[in-house]
Amino acid sequence: MKTIRTSIFELFKVGPGPSSSHTIGPMKAGYEFMQQVHALPKDIRTAANNLEVRLLGSLSATGEGHGTRRAVMSGLLGYEPDNCQPNVLDSFENKTTPFEIDLDGAVLTYHPGDIEFGEINHDYPHSNTMIFRLRKDEDVLFERIFYSIGGGFIRWEGWETPRVGEPVYPYENMAQLKEHLRNNGMRLHTLILENEKAVTGMTEDEINAGLDHMCDVMERAVEIGIQTEGILPGPIGLMRKAPVMYAMAKKEHFQGSGFIKALNAYALAASEENAAGHCIVTAPTCGAAGVIPAVLFMLKRHMGALQDEVRRGLLAAAAIGFLVKHNASISGAEVGCQGEVGTASSMAAAFLAYARGYRFQVTENSAEIALEHHLGLTCDPVGGYVQIPCIERNAMGAVKAYNAYLIASTLDESYQKVNLDKVIAAMAQTGRDMSQKYKETSQAGLALSMTEC
């Protein structure tokens, strides 16, 4: 294993839904491919007369419902996830609409429908594989194979880890992280902040500004979601539930069951915005983008949390996300939904505990409890759309996060026998043992049962 060098802003990213591995990653791949094409010698670019894009594995199995074709097309045309318009994918809904791709010396006419959905089972090292080929007739002039590895991260053959700064407090797992905290008498948010400054070169003010921006996008997704009625895109015809749930919570003055209804409403709201292909924050993925925003919204609007407390909570949440990504996976195509909503729930539980002022052990226990009770969760989206069971699953993840926090903060810390490192290892093993059918392919589970009804 290697020291964790992931930035907070690699884990929390702004972009269009509904799936970080199926939209944000492929959009980045399309954009990166074109950057590499533009760097080719002019005679190669001007000779090209055809472009081939093939999606394999999970991207092929559920790419249509996830918006992968539209995401790749937007990337080819120069759009990037973090600065595109919230509804950019809507522009590429029509498969037959022609678009001109500028090769910096030649122009190709390309249609969204030209993007091919290839083999689901293949021999490439990651399920989410994309093959881009620039051609002259049958001759391949330039080829790049990309892998969308979850959370909006992409890799390609020949990819090298970017040179970044060395973390001040290097760690690979929770045990090493705790050792730093004990030996240096420091708090978790301080350690994560110092590492972020060292790795990225950002100042503390820049990091705080970035965290505040993430908060703003999360809150905006919830605010829009609880006010937007109607049916979500796609053939399922799923009605938005967040406005109804929020209205009931408000009617009960957010007291008693109204509090839990509000938490559900906030998670549904952000998740429904994600399903609509609108702008959200990967937390840590698009498919799990409703869990942390729900807890954040509850913290600020109902518990009176100050912005500094929220920032510290997000730093604690990032630490949990780093550990899962580094030692298991946050990709549904690799380990099922335990890696997406399970990780989000674990991060949200830690976020809540830490923002409420609890010290490290309660924070770890909260994260461990939440993740433990998502073990084995499959990824079986109906029709390949991030709607059933994904949207309600985000609500369940938010409620589990809140309950994990209640258990950890109420009981004696010594009662907890399973630590976070152990449950992350269990999740990784469970993901390896899980049938590929249950990893974002829509070939089993609820996805298959729905087609039989």
117-126, 238-247, 386-395: least confident range: 117-126
Residues 232 and 95 reside in one and the same domain: no
Closest among 285, 272, 168, 172 to 225, alpha carbons compared: 272
Instruction: For residue 449, give the 3-state DSSP assignment.
Output: helix
pLDDT band of residue 452 (cuts 50, 70, 90) is very low
Q: Residue 3 burial (CB < 10 Å; 0-12/13-18/19+)?
A: middle
Straight-line distance from the first to the last Cα atom of the chain, in angstroms, rounded to the nearest whole number:
46
Q: Which helix (H) or strand (E) holds 214?
A: helix 204-225
Residues 242 and 135 reside in one and the same domain: no
What's the pLDDT score for residue 44?
Answer: 94
Residue 321, domain member (yes or no): yes
Structural domains counted in the chain: 2
pTM of the model as a whole: 0.84
Residue 8, domain member (yes or no): no
Residues 82 and 223 reside in one and the same domain: no
Residues 128 and 183 reside in one and the same domain: no
Residues 149 and 219 reside in one and the same domain: no
What residues pair up with 102 in beta bridges, in sequence order?
Answer: 107
As a whole number of angstroms, the distance between CA 203 and CA 71 comes to 33
As a whole number of angstroms, the distance between CA 60 and CA 119 comes to 7
Residues 190 and 269 reside in one and the same domain: yes
As a whole number of angstroms, the distance between CA 2 and CA 261 comes to 42
Joined together, the tokens standing for residue 62 give 């559920």
Cα-Cα-Cα-Cα dihedral sign, residues 102, 108, 110, 115: negative
Residues 416 and 285 reside in one and the same domain: yes
Cα-only R_g, the chain: 22
In eight-state DSSP terms, residue 439 is B
DSSP letters along 9-52, please? Answer: HHHSEEEESS-IIIIIHHHHHHHHHHHHHHTS-HHHHHH--EEE
CATH number of the domain that residue 133 is part of:
3.30.1330.90
At 310-363, the pLDDT tens digits run 999 999 999 999 999 999 999 898 999 999 999 999 999 999 999 999 989 999
Residues 205 and 253 reside in one and the same domain: yes
Which residue type is seen at 357?
Answer: G
Residue 9, domain member (yes or no): no
Instruction: For residue 155, give the 3-state DSSP assignment.
Output: strand
Better-scored residue on pLDDT, 222 or 160: 222
Residue 5, domain member (yes or no): no
- pLDDT over 50 (residue 38): yes
Domain stop point among 109, 126, 156: 156
Residues 274 and 413 reside in one and the same domain: yes
> Residues 6 or more apart from 352 whose CB is under 8 A from it?
295, 299, 313, 366, 401, 402, 405
- pLDDT over 60 (residue 239): yes
Domain stop point among 156, 189, 223: 156
Residue 189, domain member (yes or no): yes
In the chain, % of residues over pLDDT 70: 98
At 72-127, the pLDDT tens digits run 999 999 999 877 776 778 788 889 999 999 998 889 999 999 999 999 999 998 88
Residue 412, domain member (yes or no): yes
Residues 121 and 185 reside in one and the same domain: no
Evaluate whether 135 touches 48 at the Cβ level (below 8 Å). Answer: yes
Domain stop point among 156, 187, 205: 156
Maximal C-alpha separation, the chain: 70
What residues pair up with 439 in beta bridges, in sequence order?
Answer: 379
Domain coverage including residue 125: 18-156
Please provide residue 141's backbone torsions phi and psi, each rounded to the nearest 5 degrees.
-85, -35
Residue 372, domain member (yes or no): yes
Closest among 107, 181, 130, 99 to 28, alpha carbons compared: 130
Residues 140 and 46 reside in one and the same domain: yes
Residues 201 and 321 reside in one and the same domain: yes
Evaluate whether 52 touches 76 at the Cβ level (below 8 Å). Answer: no
Residue 7, domain member (yes or no): no
